[in-house]
Structures are given as C-alpha cells and as structure tokens.
Structure 1
C-alpha cells in the first residue's frame, strides 16, 4: 500500500509517499510544491492543486493523509492555510483518493512517541524509520511524518 502524506501550506506544500508492507515502511518519494508569494491567490492555489495532481499521477497512492486544520492566532494565516488545504484536498478528490486526517499531536506521538515532540525530533525519527531517504526540506519531512503516522494509526485519528 502506498500512502501520500500532505503538509498543506500556501507558500510551500510538502508531500511524501511511503510504502507499507505489513509492519515494514519504506520511502518512495518526497518533495515540496512552492508558490510565488507575488502571484495572485487563484494562481497560487492552481499551482498547489496541479502539483499534488502530478504527484498522484506519478505515484498512484492508495490513500492520502493530512494533519487536521488548526487555528492560528492570525485569522489571515488561518484563512490562507484553509485555502491551500482546499486546493490540495481537491486534487485528491478529483483523483478519487480517500484522505484521512490526524491531529498534529497524534502525528508526533505516532512518529516520535510523544505528542509534544518538536520538528527536530520528528526529523531525527524520520532518519531512523526511513533510512537513506533524502528529504527535500522541512515541509516534506512533515508530510512524510503524516504518512508514517497514518500507516501506524491505521486510519484512526
């Protein structure tokens, strides 16, 4: 089974694909889809949707997973995140791929063992769980963590 993990963001959406064979996980691919901050909102959202659609076409995941939405202190940031998330999830919907959502604390707990883990700890565990994987950046690392958590949680979350 292939799981596509997604870390939506308007500026840079991370993605990661892992293969699950029983209890064994392996890295397939990962990357980041960046948008031009000076481009109009609609154009940026189109870049995200098209980018995720390309990843889906290239890797044909069985399902996808994303962190549940959270509210920032800044309402504008929350709105931008929600719009980016909508574009990313729409790409999954067009491809008829189920998207499972998990709370950020649950993702950290599934990957590191504690829901209070920081990004550094998550990235360190990725090296242990996916040895040899070259991670494209922090957003791709977060997306791989979501995919791994989904594999461990079996859809709970």
Structure 2
C-alpha cells in the first residue's frame, strides 16, 4: 500500500487530500485544510510549515503532489502563493518523499481523460473517488484533483 498526499497551497487556506494506492487502484482516505486566520503573513507561513510536518509525520505518504504556481495579472498574489507553496515543500525536507508538480491545465486534462462525458471537475473527483460528501472546500477539491493526477502520472497515464 502506498499513499499520495495532494496539496493545494494557499496563504489563507491550504487544502490537502490523501489517497491510498492499492493494487493499481486509488481509494480516498481523507482530506482537510489548514485555515490560516492569523493576520501576520509570516506567521501563516510558519503555520503551514508546522501543520504540514505534523500531517506528514502522522500519515507517512509515499508521494507528494503540489500545484505549480500560475502567474496571472496579480503578481503580489503569485508571490504569496509561492511562499505558501515553499512552506509546504520545506516541511518535506526531512522525510525523503518525492515531490511532483502539476499545473492546473495538466490536472484538468487528466481529469477530463478519466471522464470525458463530464466537464464538472468536482463531479469527476467525487465519482472517481466514490465520495458521497460534496461539502468540501474548493481547496480540498483541488488537492484531491492534484493527488488523482499524481496517481495517473505514476501510472504514465497523462
């Protein structure tokens, strides 16, 4: 049994999701988010770092997948997102876990290959992972989508 940790980094909410790889299939284990309510940006980065270390220690994933940064019109947001992403990646340093990065377009392409009849990404995730609850935060859906993409990437599907 292997475990994938997918992470959608954010400076206000960082979503994560765990998938179990078993006999060439994936199963949903659990997901959650780190809510960063502190006003001080640098304290939020420290919280991401500490919480990610705790999560990694507790669940010992074999693979770590994270979203690549997209630089749009707002450079300040991209820089903050980059810092949040770095805090999550830095937490992995002592665990020797391989890191995989995916752009939003890679994730979307992978999910649409899974179910090309459905253009609703959330529904594809819920159906593929056999999850009945759709009350997840957007960041959790994104983290699960990244983890699913990692599964298919490891299998050389995408």
TM-score greater than 0.5 by the shorter chain = yes
User: For 2:76, what is the secondary structure of its paired residue?
Assistant: helix
Aligned to 2:10: 9
CA distance in 2, matches of 1:69, 1:33: 19
Say if 1:153 and 1:32 are closer, same or farther in 2 by CA, change over 3 A.
Answer: same
TM-score (norm 2): 0.87
CA shift at 1:37, angstroms? 4.9
CA distance in 2, matches of 1:128, 1:56: 26
Aligned to 1:52: 52
Aligned to 2:36: 35
User: For 2:139, what is the secondary structure of its paired residue?
Assistant: helix
Aligned to 2:129: 130
CA distance in 2, matches of 1:127, 1:16: 13
Alignment gaps of 5+ in structure 2: none
* Count of equivalent residues: 152
Residues 14-63 of structure 1: CA distance to partner in whole angstroms, max 9, x if unpaired?
0001011233110011001011252x222100111111112112211001
User: For 1:92, what is the secondary structure of its paired residue?
Assistant: coil
Aligned to 1:117: none
8 A contact 1:10–1:84 mirrored in 2: yes
TM-score (norm 1): 0.88
8 A contact 1:27–1:133 mirrored in 2: no
8 A contact 1:15–1:30 mirrored in 2: yes
CA shift at 1:90, angstroms? 0.5
Runs of 4+ aligned structure 1 residues displaced above 6 Å come to: none
- Alpha-carbon RMSD: 2.1
Aligned to 2:98: 98
Say if 1:72 and 1:29 are closer, same or farther in 2 by CA, change over 3 A.
Answer: same
Alignment gaps of 5+ in structure 1: 115-119
Aligned to 2:73: 73
CA distance in 1, matches of 2:140, 2:25: 20
CA distance in 2, matches of 1:47, 1:25: 29
User: For 2:71, what is the secondary structure of its paired residue?
Assistant: coil
CA distance in 2, matches of 1:104, 1:63: 19
